[in-house]
């Protein structure tokens, strides 16, 4: 076996994407960013769409840059956000521009679907948190609105699987991305006929289900010519970016919770089997697939989305995040709270107005300045994390002793400290590039460089140095938490 292996991770978030070259040598991983690009939701005729051809071209650009490095690439893996999908016709062509999960056509779709299958039965089968944009309800909305592509669809491919198909010509359904759909049976890992057939869909409209680490195929001859690469294998990593990110948690025991912090914040635990109970149903927790048939028991929390929307509106705020954090830290604490997962923060025309309106409606001081609004956001997120963490303590088979924060949010040192203060447990922040690292290490596992998840995490722990935040001022935070609960109840 050779000493050095090189992998390409294509990591697509909801606002930007990267292609990263990862080298695994011995018991360490090193990474180099090849390309970074923005992509946006396109609004047309009252709908919101993803430009899949832009994503495809950016991936080709990244592969072309990889070829210029002259290193031998061993494989490629793609991860994206969850739930969204592409419709493919019998001729293998994409039938329509895929909807974004933020499209308003799903408003009311859950309630309409529950007329076909009761809500409790949907959760009993899928174990998935109820959110109107889950794939099941997107498809339900398309049926209700008589979408012209559905009657002629041959295959429904989730976004990372669709992009892998464009690279290889081979179709698969990767398990972790399927698990975000609300129509995978959480206990069997198969698509539930009971959930899709009421929509007129059939099992054969989905490609074969595969586990993370499955080799989908190799780059087509056309793409080899365009990029300068050879017949490189494309591996189905944990196609759901959170699945890849959680695989990169540098933990050496099972007593931890994780917070994948980015546009969304996803807080959860890793278990050997789904947690589908009356309590988890009432708490609206989700059971998503992880690698090696683990389950990610978690809850979606509206994360940095609120801050980023405000930053677009703030005219006098500093461009530097560090300067913003410093100024925010000096602002009055616990002045105003919002409930980050309230519907009005999902996609408002003006996020700053939505925050002000919420505070006015709940009889709180209205945050007028950007520092007051930032403080409101950070205080509220830290309190919401506490709320979900306490729920996880009730659901977890093990006592949770600490929290690992992974992803871009690890760089928000102010929120990390507030989170430790709020939860009252040590918080470890890092790695920043968790999704790309997990993506690469799943490829390394497919190549036989490590035997299992434990071996992956050992290599990752040797390669990163998470920062530890210890709880401070816990009495004050505990008192403020009771205020938060009263305001947001």
DSSP designation for 81: -
Q: Which residues are bridge partners to 215 per DSSP?
A: 235
In angstroms, the Cα distances linking 130 to 107, 111, 280, 410 are 13, 11, 12, 27
The tokens for 269 are: 């635990």
CB 408 within 8 A of CB 435: no
Residues listed for the chain: 489
Specify the residue for token string 């994503």. 55
The SS3 assignment for 406 reads: strand
The SS3 assignment for 471 reads: coil
- How many separate helices (H) and strands (E) can be counted in the chain? 18, 19
- Residue 241 known to be catalytic: yes
The tokens for 271 are: 């278990």
Find all residues with CB under 8 Å of 323, minimum gap 6, and list them: none
d(CA 480, CA 337): 10
CB 432 within 8 A of CB 385: no
DSSP designation for 408: G
CB 436 within 8 A of CB 31: yes
CB 329 within 8 A of CB 396: no
The SS3 assignment for 140 reads: helix
Provide the CA 373 distance to its chain's centre, in angstroms: 25
DSSP designation for 218: E
User: What does DSSP say about strands 75-79 and 4-12: parallel, antiparallel, or unpaired?
Assistant: parallel
Catalytic residue among 74, 84, 241, 379: 241
Task: Transcribe 17-61 into DSSP letters.
Answer: EEEEEEEEETTEEEEEEEEEEE--PEEETTEEE--HHHHHHHHHH
- Whether the ω angle into residue 431 lies within 30 degrees of 0, i.e. cis, is yes
Task: Transcribe 59-75 into DSSP letters.
Answer: HHHHHHHHHHTTPPP-E
In angstroms, the Cα distances linking 66 to 4, 28, 69, 98 are 16, 20, 5, 28
Q: Which residues are catalytic, by number? A: 241
């Amino acid at each position: 076996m050779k000493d050095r292996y090189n992998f390409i991770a294509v990591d697509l978030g909801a606002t930007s994407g990267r292609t990263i070259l990862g080298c695994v040598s011995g018991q360490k991983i090193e990474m180099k960013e090849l390309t970074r690009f923005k992509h946006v939701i396109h609004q047309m005729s009252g709908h919101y769409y993803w430009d899949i051809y832009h994503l495809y071209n950016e991936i080709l650009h990244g592969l072309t840059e990889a070829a210029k490095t002259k290193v031998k690439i061993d494989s490629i893996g793609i991860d994206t956000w969850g739930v969204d999908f592409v419709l493919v016709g019998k001729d293998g062509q994409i039938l329509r521009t895929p909807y974004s999960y933020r499209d308003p056509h799903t408003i009311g779709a859950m309630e309409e679907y529950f007329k076909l299958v009761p809500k409790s039965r949907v959760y009993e089968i899928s174990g998935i948190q109820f959110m109107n944009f889950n794939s099941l309800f997107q498809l339900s909305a398309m049926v209700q609105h008589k979408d012209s592509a559905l009657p002629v669809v041959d295959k429904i491919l989730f976004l990372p699987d669709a992009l892998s198909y464009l690279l290889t010509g081979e179709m698969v359904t990767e398990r972790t991305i399927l698990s975000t759909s609300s129509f995978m049976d959480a206990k069997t890992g198969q698509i539930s006929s009971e959930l899709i057939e009421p929509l007129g869909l059939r099992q054969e409209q989905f490609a074969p289900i595969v586990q993370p680490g499955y080799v989908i195929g190799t780059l087509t001859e056309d793409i080899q010519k365009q990029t300068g690469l050879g017949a490189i294998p494309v591996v189905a990593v944990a196609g759901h970016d959170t699945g890849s990110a959680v695989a990169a948690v540098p933990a050496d025991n099972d007593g931890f919770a994780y917070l994948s912090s980015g546009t969304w914040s996803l807080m959860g635990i890793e278990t050997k089997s789904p947690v589908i109970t009356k309590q988890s149903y009432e708490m609206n927790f989700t059971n998503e697939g992880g690698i090696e048939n683990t389950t990610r028991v978690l809850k979606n929390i509206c994360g940095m989305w609120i801050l980023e929307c405000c930053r677009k509106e703030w005219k006098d705020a500093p461009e530097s995040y560090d300067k913003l954090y410093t100024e925010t830290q000096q602002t009055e604490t616990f002045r105003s709270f919002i409930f980050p997962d309230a519907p009005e923060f999902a996609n408002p025309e003006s996020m700053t107005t939505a925050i002000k309106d919420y505070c006015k409606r709940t009889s709180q001081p209205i945050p007028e300045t950007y520092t007051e609004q930032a403080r409101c956001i950070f205080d509220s997120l830290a309190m919401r994390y506490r709320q979900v963490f306490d729920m996880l303590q009730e659901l977890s088979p093990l006592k949770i002793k600490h929290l690992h924060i992974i992803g871009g949010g690890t760089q928000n040192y102010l929120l990390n400290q507030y989170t430790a203060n709020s939860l009252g447990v040590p918080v470890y922040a890092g790695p920043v590039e968790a999704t790309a690292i997990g993506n690469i290490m799943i490829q390394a596992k497919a190549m036989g460089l490590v035997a299992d998840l434990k071996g992956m995490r050992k290599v990752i722990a040797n390669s990163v140095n998470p920062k530890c935040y210890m709880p401070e001022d816990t009495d004050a935070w505990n008192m403020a938490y009771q205020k938060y609960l009263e305001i947001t109840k």
